Amino acid sequence: MDQNHPPLLYLDGVSVSFDGFKAINNLSLIVQHGELQAIIGPNGAGKTTMMDIVTGKTRPDEGEVFFTGDIDLTRLDEAAIAELGIGRKFQKPTVFESHTVWDNLELALKKPRGVFSAWFYNSSKEDEERLEEILATIRLTVRRDELAANLSHGQKQWLEIGMLLAQDPKLLLVDEPVAGMTDAETVETARLLKEIAASRSVIVVEHDMSFIRDLAARVTVLAEGSVLAQGSLDHVSADPRVIESYLGR
Amino acid sequence: MYPTRLFPKLLLALALLLAALPGALAQDVEALVNALPDGSYSDREKVIFDLAATGDDRVAGLLNALGEGDLYVHEEDGRVVVGKRSGRDYALTDALTGEELGTAPSSALEKIRVNNRLRRAVRSAIGQLTLMSPSPPVRLRAASSLLRNADPDSLELLDTALAAETDPQVKKMMETARAAIIIKTDAGLEEKAAAINLLAARGDREALAMLTGALPSAAPELQPVIERGIAGIERKLALRDALQNVWYGLSLGSVLLLAAIGLAITFGAMGVINMAHGEIVMLGAYTTFAVQQVIRTSFPGLFDYSLAIALPLAFLVTALVGIAIERGIIRWLYGRPLETLLATWGLSLILQQTVRTIFGPNNREVGNPSWMSGAFDLAGLSITWNRLWIVVFALAVFAVLLAVLNRTPLGLQMRAVTQNRRMASSMGIRTPWVDAMTFGLGSGIAGMAGVALSQIDNVSPNLGQSYIIDSFMVVVFGGVGNLWGTLVGALTLGVANKFLEPYAGAVLAKIFILVFIILFIQRRPRGLFALKGRAVDA
Amino acid sequence: MITKTLLRAFDGKAIWVVAILLIIAVAVPASNLYLPVGHPLRVANHFVPLFGKYLTYAMLALALDLVWGYCGILSLGHGAFFALGGYAMGMYLMRQIGDRGVYANPILPDFMVFLNYQELPWFWHGFDMFWFAAIMVVLVPGLLAFVFGWFAFRSRVTGVYLSIITQAMTYALLLAFFRNDMGFGGNNGLTDFKDILGAPLQADTTRAALFAASAIALALAFIVCSAIVNSKLGKVLVAVRDAESRTRFLGYRVDNYKLFAFTASAVMAGIAGALYVPQVGIINPGEFAPANSIEIVIWTAVGGRGTLVGPIVGAVLVNAGKSWFTGVWPEFWLFALGGLFVAVTLFLPKGIVGALTQGWTALKARRTSARAEGGSDIAPEPSPAE
């Protein structure tokens, strides 16, 4: 790779297996700075496992995973990777249900993560302004003091995206952000993600083709744990192998 | 006075011949017996050997009485009698014939005193007598007693007996005894070396003691031979100790297995921590007690079948209790394992107190049927029947359970629910029904465990508490959702515990095991045989 | 910064709780010491150490609530920390006996003379000084919790597995302390104490002072807990409780947070144990029994976990009930306690205080929603185990 301008995320020859089943097989993937990349693929293609590897939840059996060129992610745990600036949104919305919307965002806000700095943390004016700004972006200003448990499904998804914004990551991994959303919410979410991607790199895993078209992102197709095709949506959806394994006909 | 006194050795050599002619020498025997009270201790010793040399059947009994200090002289008629204390007086029998002679006060009797040396003489004399008995078991006993005191004076007699011996077992014992004697004599080096090897081959603690005793005084050439022999015996003994520990460990392990296996099912399939599990075991034990009570009062002849009757009954009772618990309490708490833990703990207190109220706080007597009493010997290990049956029973329960899980529709559904509750439910499996049945099965097995444990432990309201923590350790160590894990876990912990006990004592051994499990869980948070893959983290 | 955090501790109702505890700390001893015998408001002599005992139990329940109610760690071994604190205090009290024991040995406590000890075991040195014992009261439970937690949380032992190994821990300690050669008095434990800091333990004034100390310690513990749960630290703990792995992906080192809560809680439990021992006059290995630790959990559950007032209310109520039951109807106490476990988990999962606050907010919500329509749906029940 180019030593002067290394890619933000670099996966090479990564494999991992569970009880003999190869979930990821010799996967190589590059994400550039400021890039919005969509990953599609049939169930069991290894999309979620790929995210698990990048965020430190799963250790690969072999292969290299580097962040900003020189940081070996396979040696770090989830918390360290998150502090490096890799945020993750899960398939199932996971917000802290017994906290208010505001507290959820405050917890995510990029601040020292140590025990004692949390104990003696006092929010500054800038912090509060930043949180207000995010609240406005995810359209939850009026519900700021409500418990997250009481939000609708779509609102929880947005809150989670808002938490990622508060985290201010360099790389965002988003797993099926529009699953279970109405069409209007889906369009809104696409707008939100594009806004976020303006200032950072984003990887979106999604099944919804029209959503990916809305994103206008570069598309990587995964199948059986490795990359099948890459390019624009039109390019990959014309690829006979992709049609064979995923899109169907 | 008597020619035999002058030629004792000659007479010893003629013992066989004399034994063949007891009648001819009957007169002599009586004369010898009457001579017993006279003279010094050393005179008496000679008489003892002379008596033995007669080979007369009756002499063994007499000499035994002498050794026990029960031989007296009646002061009135000078007759030698055996006296046994009976109330204030002594009941007398003739020393030779065993004829009853009424009683006499102690003032009318004079004890024929023996000292240690005489006792030894008596022992070896009896040995000589019995070495030539026509009955092989008597000869065998005699040979082994000779082996123990290894009196060099008996050597010639032993050689004679050996030459005539035909029974291989007796012959082997005699040869060993001979070896034990040889190393005490001044025999040739080669002969001694052979004797040492023979003793070493015997390989028990007695042989070890003999060789260790012989080591300091042995000729320098022989010392390495003895040392090798000692090392060999020690190896053999260590092996036997190890076997003994393995057996005790398996026995403990099977008890743990019985106690834990029901828990493994409910914990594995339902994620339910049933703290009342121990009390369900206790209910099984009390069912056995109740069955035996009914049998004792109404059908005493059926006592040997009491366990066979109690077993299905205990299964039924506890399975119903289990289903009631599941339907009444646990089903409201699914997905909240910590709350289930608390509720079932409360339940365990209630069950304990209920049993205490009905049956009283004390231990209840549960008898062993005859086929579970006693012990037998296997390769030097003493094995009690009740322990053996419990090992067999535990393995049988394990096998049956494995078959139920793998071969029956219920088992299939249980496994499906264990692996993915939601998926199983959407495939049309009635998960509530499976839960109730699983809980019933787990509890029923706990009840059967209670029947088995009633045979080796005190049946009291606290019975369950003493097993619950151990059972949890087994399940956690073995891994959830895998019966083999429970089996391996139970046996490993049992054997490890018993191997630690000789070094650390029972309590420390247990502490070590607990600490080991705490550390083990750090390494493998899901136990030995954990389910793997993404499903686990969910 | 720190003052702000402390100020936050007095937010809302906390100030009232602290005020009530301080009033009790003064009022109960004063009424016992200064009101004439027979006065209707006088607290009888035997009630002072009994109420003092309840206060130490309340502190223990509060400590458990910090890890269970706020961080989701159900420790079934908190009795061990309590007992260790108690033993540290007991060792000091033993050394204070000096040559007034039955065997009149100036150095060795009676049980050591009885067991033929030739000299004081190394770990008994220093306990003749109060300050040393006081440090140990904090250090020993804290260190055990730190080491235990460091291993357990780093390896991500969670849920029932953690509960079971904490139970194994206290069980192992129970077995160990029962051994005579451990040097802690074996089966009989430590007892026959004479005085503390020179004041005789049987004197009314000493008992009143110990009561006041317990109330003040509880108030301080309450302030510390309040300062924790009302800070961002407390929010992280709740986040860990509700969605541990999500918290980790936000960049928080979950193991450190758990370790902090667990250790702080163990220290509090140890202090409670140290205050408990001089008031009841004995500490024995029975305090390590797993059943005791589970009982602490029920106090907390009855009062309401995840609230700071709940465990205090629960501990006092359950123990007052126990005192009453065992006096009047001893054979039914286990039925009552068992029934309480079942009833609370089934019908009152948030405990008394939790249910009251829930009812209160529901009432308020109905009033406000009458004006502005809408209102919030109640949080759904958790889904079954996966």
pLDDT tens-digit readout, C316-354 = 999 999 999 988 888 888 899 999 989 999 988 888 998
pLDDT at B271 over 80: no
Please report the residues numbered 321 through 360 in chain B whose beta carbons come closer than 8 angstroms to any beta carbon of chain A: none
Burial class of residue C327 (count of CB atoms within 10 Å of its CB; 0-12, 13-18, 19+): exposed
Average pLDDT over residues B439-445: 92
Average pLDDT over residues B494-508: 86
Residue-range definition of the domain harbouring residue A41: 9-247
Distance from CA of B262 to the nearest CA of A (A): 28
Q: How many CB pairs under 8 A join B and C?
A: 141
Average pLDDT over residues C285-294: 94
Neighboring chain B residues of A21 at a CB cutoff of 8 Å: 533
Question: What is the rounded CA–CA span in Å between residue B400 and residue B439?
Answer: 17
Q: For chain A, say whether C364 makes contact (Cβ under 8 Å).
A: no
Q: Which of A119, A143, A167 to mutate to test the interface with C (most CBs of C within 10 A)?
A: A119
Neighboring chain C residues of A78 at a CB cutoff of 8 Å: 245, 248-249
Burial class of residue A52 (count of CB atoms within 10 Å of its CB; 0-12, 13-18, 19+): buried
Range from B115-119, B224-228, B474-478, C213-217 that averages highest in pLDDT: C213-217
> Using CB atoms, which chains have 3+ pairs under 8 A with A?
B, C
Q: Which of B410, B417, B233, C251 is nearest to A56 (CA)?
A: C251
Coil, helix or strand at residue B376: strand
Neighboring chain C residues of B342 at a CB cutoff of 8 Å: 294, 297-298, 301, 341, 344-345
* Structure confidence by residue, pLDDT tens digits, A93-135: 788 999 999 999 999 998 889 999 888 888 889 999 999 999 9
Range from A26-35, B270-279, C46-55, C366-375 that averages highest in pLDDT: C46-55
Q: What is the pLDDT of residue B538?
A: 34
Q: Which of C236, C299, C293, C231 is nearest to C266 (CA)?
A: C293
Distance from CA of A118 to the nearest CA of C (A): 5
Q: Which of B326, B348, B353, B468 to mutate to test the interface with C (most CBs of C within 10 A)?
A: B353
Neighboring chain A residues of C376 at a CB cutoff of 8 Å: 146-147, 150
Split at pLDDT 50, 70, 90, the class of A205 is confident
Q: What is the pLDDT of residue B534?
A: 39
Q: How many CB pairs under 8 A join A and C?
A: 93
Q: What is the pLDDT of residue B425?
A: 82
Q: What is the pLDDT of residue B29?
A: 76
Which residue stretches of chain C are H helix?
A: 2-9, 14-34, 47-68, 78-97, 110-114, 130-154, 159-178, 204-229, 232-242, 244-249, 254-280, 290-303, 309-328, 333-347, 351-371
Q: What is the pLDDT of residue C98?
A: 87
Q: What is the mean pLDDT of chain B?
A: 81
Written as six digits, the tokens of C328 are 């009047």
Which residue has tokens 């099984």?
A: B284
Question: What is the rounded CA–CA span in Å between residue C149 and residue C166?
Answer: 10
Q: Measured between CB atoms, which of B271, B517, B535 is closest to C168?
A: B517
Number of separate domains in chain A = 1
**Nearest residue in chain B measured CA to CA from A22:** B533
Q: What is the mean pLDDT of chain A?
A: 85
Distance from CA of A17 to the nearest CA of B (A): 9
CB contact under 8 A, A118 and C256: no
> Using CB atoms, which chains have 3+ pairs under 8 A with C?
A, B
**Nearest residue in chain B measured CA to CA from C334:** B349
Q: What is the pLDDT of residue A248?
A: 57
**Nearest residue in chain A measured CA to CA from B533:** A18
Q: Which long-range contacts (CB under 8 A, 24 or more apart) does B72-81 make?
A: B72/B109, B72/B110, B72/B111, B72/B112, B73/B37, B73/B109, B73/B110, B73/B112, B74/B104, B74/B108, B74/B109, B75/B108, B75/B109, B75/B110, B76/B108, B78/B34, B78/B37, B80/B33, B80/B34, B80/B36, B80/B37, B80/B112, B81/B109
Question: What is the rounded CA–CA span in Å between residue C303 and residue C353?
Answer: 6
DSSP lists the bridge partners of residue A86 as A171
Q: Which of B534, B536, B537 to mutate to test the interface with A (most CBs of A within 10 A)?
A: B534
pLDDT at B221 over 70: yes
CB contact under 8 A, C382 and B335: yes
CB contact under 8 A, A19 and B534: no
CB contact under 8 A, C384 and B421: yes
Q: Which of C70, C226, C232, C381 to mutate to test the interface with A (most CBs of A within 10 A)?
A: C232
Split at pLDDT 50, 70, 90, the class of C375 is very low
Burial class of residue C66 (count of CB atoms within 10 Å of its CB; 0-12, 13-18, 19+): buried
Distance from CA of A58 to the nearest CA of B (A): 10
Q: Which of B514, B523, B536 to mutate to test the interface with C (most CBs of C within 10 A)?
A: B514
Neighboring chain B residues of C385 at a CB cutoff of 8 Å: 270-271, 334-335, 337, 421
Split at pLDDT 50, 70, 90, the class of B27 is low
Identify the weakest region by mean pLDDT among B219-228, B504-513, C130-139: B219-228
* Structure confidence by residue, pLDDT tens digits, A5-54: 788 898 888 888 887 788 888 888 888 888 888 888 877 778 888 888 99
Q: Which of A86, A90, A98 to mutate to test the interface with C (most CBs of C within 10 A)?
A: A98
* Structure confidence by residue, pLDDT tens digits, B49-78: 777 777 676 777 777 778 777 888 887 777
Distance from CA of A63 to the nearest CA of B (A): 20
Q: What is the pLDDT of residue C87?
A: 96
Contact present, B442 and B263 (Cβ < 8 Å): yes
pLDDT at C381 over 70: no
Neighboring chain A residues of B534 at a CB cutoff of 8 Å: 18, 48-49
Written as six digits, the tokens of C373 are 């329509």
DSSP lists the bridge partners of residue A27 as A14
Distance from CA of B243 to the nearest CA of C (A): 28
Neighboring chain B residues of A19 at a CB cutoff of 8 Å: 532-533
Split at pLDDT 50, 70, 90, the class of B530 is low
Neighboring chain C residues of B530 at a CB cutoff of 8 Å: none
pLDDT at B114 over 60: yes
Domain boundaries, chain B: 3-124, 133-221, 241-381+412-479
**Alpha carbon distance, N-terminus to C-terminus of chain A:** 38
Question: What is the rounded CA–CA span in Å between residue A61 and residue A65?
Answer: 12
Contact present, B265 and B445 (Cβ < 8 Å): yes
CB contact under 8 A, C290 and B523: no
Split at pLDDT 50, 70, 90, the class of C373 is very low
Contact present, B268 and B480 (Cβ < 8 Å): yes
Q: For chain A, say whether B533 makes contact (Cβ under 8 Å).
A: yes
Rounded to two decimals, the ipTM of the complex is 0.86
Neighboring chain B residues of C386 at a CB cutoff of 8 Å: 420-422, 535, 538
pLDDT at C371 over 50: yes
Distance from CA of C364 to the nearest CA of B (A): 29
pLDDT at B80 over 70: yes
* Structure confidence by residue, pLDDT tens digits, C186-242: 889 999 899 999 899 999 999 999 999 999 999 999 999 999 999 999 999 999 999
Split at pLDDT 50, 70, 90, the class of C283 is very high
Neighboring chain B residues of C346 at a CB cutoff of 8 Å: 329, 332-333, 343
Q: Measured between CB atoms, which of C161, C291, C338 is closest to B521?
A: C161
Neighboring chain B residues of A48 at a CB cutoff of 8 Å: 534
Average pLDDT over residues A161-165: 88
Q: What is the pLDDT of residue B192?
A: 79
Neighboring chain B residues of C351 at a CB cutoff of 8 Å: none
Q: What is the pLDDT of residue B17?
A: 47
Q: What is the pLDDT of residue B4?
A: 44
Distance from CA of B250 to the nearest CA of A (A): 31
Q: What is the pLDDT of residue B521?
A: 85
Q: What is the pLDDT of residue B231?
A: 87
Neighboring chain B residues of A49 at a CB cutoff of 8 Å: 534
pLDDT at A3 over 70: no
Average pLDDT over residues B298-310: 85
* Structure confidence by residue, pLDDT tens digits, C76-124: 999 999 999 999 999 999 999 988 888 888 889 989 998 888 899 999 9
**Nearest residue in chain A measured CA to CA from C377:** A150
Q: With pLDDT > 90 as the criterion, what percentage of chain A qualifies?
A: 11
Contact present, C337 and C298 (Cβ < 8 Å): yes
**Cα B420 to chain centroid, rounded:** 47
Which residue stretches of A69-182 are H helix?
A: 78-84, 101-108, 115-119, 125-137, 153-167
Q: What is the pLDDT of residue C84?
A: 97
Distance from CA of B518 to the nearest CA of C (A): 6
Q: With pLDDT > 90 as the criterion, what percentage of chain B qualifies?
A: 15
Q: Is A139 left (phi over 0), alpha (psi -120 to 50) or beta?
A: left
Distance from CA of B535 to the nearest CA of A (A): 11
Q: Which of A121, A131, A160 to mutate to test the interface with C (most CBs of C within 10 A)?
A: A121
Q: What is the pLDDT of residue B9?
A: 53
Q: Which long-range contacts (CB under 8 A, 24 or more apart) does A186-190 make?
A: A186/A210, A186/A211, A186/A214, A187/A214, A189/A157, A189/A158, A189/A161, A190/A214, A190/A215
